[in-house]
Structure 1
Amino acid sequence: MNIIDRRKNILRHPSKKTPKRKLSDIKGIIVHHSLTTSGSADAFANFHVKTNGWSCMGYHYVINRDGNKDGLIEWCADWTDVTPHVGNYNKHYIGVCLVGDFRKQKPTQKQMKALYELLEYLMNKLNISVENVLGHQELPSYTWKQCPALNMDELRGHLKYKTYGEVQNNYNNDLKININKTKSDEEKLMFKGIEFKKGKIGVLTILKPINLWKRNGDKLEMVRILQPNEKYRVYGYDEKFGGQYNVGDGYWVTKMDGYVLYETPSKEFLKKDEKMLK
């Protein structure tokens, strides 16, 4: 793995000190895409440092599309640097940004190879589990973001089983609650703060960290840990494995008092549902 160390040369705010953390503060890795079809670490540093007023680069690593004179992977900030890439969660995550707009294009094969190598390296060095390798859109309050617009469950599966294949673009995945900015709330059928869609029977709110499961015959495979305040549309419920809610795409959450809150619409709401969602 070829990593170009740019930590000393990357643009920093001349009058501000970079916030610091302990290595023990780091809980996971967040994968981003740049939302641009090209670009450089310098350009991203200019954005975060000059535009947003931060003292340092926004990401710890930038993975270029095909490599350049500086190499494919650029190391832009120390692990102990708190960089501005996930809002209130900055203190606890390493930020890895792939150059590209994955709503319109796919990562290159070189990028994916570099990403898997870098993630394995960081997981080993910082004792991070595969379940804590997340996409930006998987964090609470960011489920509306199309970042990195890739199927992170598929990526984690490749990491776990060392298959290192391509992953699908996933920006229209209905598992997460995406805000449709082309409609006003008045034009949408809203329930518990999210758009209610045809075929859904309720909404599940996560109260305490709990596992997201995928069923494999008579066994459950753990996908990742859901965090408090995340919300999911519920498609169905059955009594298997002690009782589980179907939250779409073959994913399930176990019914556990105090860990999840399941809420269903009223009869009046469902009448409106029939009219609006024909």
Structure 2
Amino acid sequence: MSPVPPPTSPTESTESIEFTESAEFAGKVALVTGAARGVGKETVALLHARGARVVAVDVRPDLKSLPDEFPGVLTMNGDITREETASRAVRAAVDAFGGLDILVNNAGRTLNRPVTETTAEDWDTLMAVNARGSFFFAREAFRAMKARGGGSIVSTGSYTCTVALPEGAAYSASKGALAQLTKVLAVEGGPLGIRANIVAAGVIETDFLDSFRSDSRAYLASFADAHPLGRVAHPGEIAEVLCFLASPRAAFVTGAVVAADGGITAV
């Protein structure tokens, strides 16, 4: 069934509106953080393929190759923990494309360490990326979307938004903070037409851990048995959920923690 946008008035029918998935983001401007690899890159690919103009942000130098794969995508290198990065990225979207409709807060870091071995630096680093940086981008996006008359903020969270991860004190706390930020954005944004949601993802097979494990993908894939589906997620599967929540198909969804965890929290 082809998705359709919501009626603009209670009496308007959508039966005559042609709206295909390939064009569902036509005329929309999106900003994606953590865009160079994994879920972020897959999200850029989907948004671009479905008609959005995209600003892609990442600290990794390989970000610069994205326009070769996705013509028209605007890239910006920057550290999301710096307030100025968020301001600069949103300003780039407004200057280049005229506004901002969608923010995908995807950049993040993880850490597995017993609570007694978790240092103040560990805690501050995880909070800076997963909570503080996402807050900066959400705040700046919120301002631009308010001027635009509405928008959608979607964040990549974790099943640890709702359940504990042993040896994950800093990570779980940071993702819990992101979930609560999402709910506040939804409450404040509702009257302004701004929706906010978070995807509570299960384990995803990416190079997310490559900064401290050379076998990142294989290690993450080893958690398959923890999920009732018997496997971990592919990045594109999480990107699909992020894009759904950003789309008109989710027009009445806001303040939600949407599980895309292979059933891991059902156990």
- Taking structure 2 as the reference length, what is the TM-score of the superposition? 0.35
Structure of larger gyration radius: 1
Q: Which has the higher contact order (CA 8 A, sep 6+)?
A: 2
- Taking structure 1 as the reference length, what is the TM-score of the superposition? 0.34
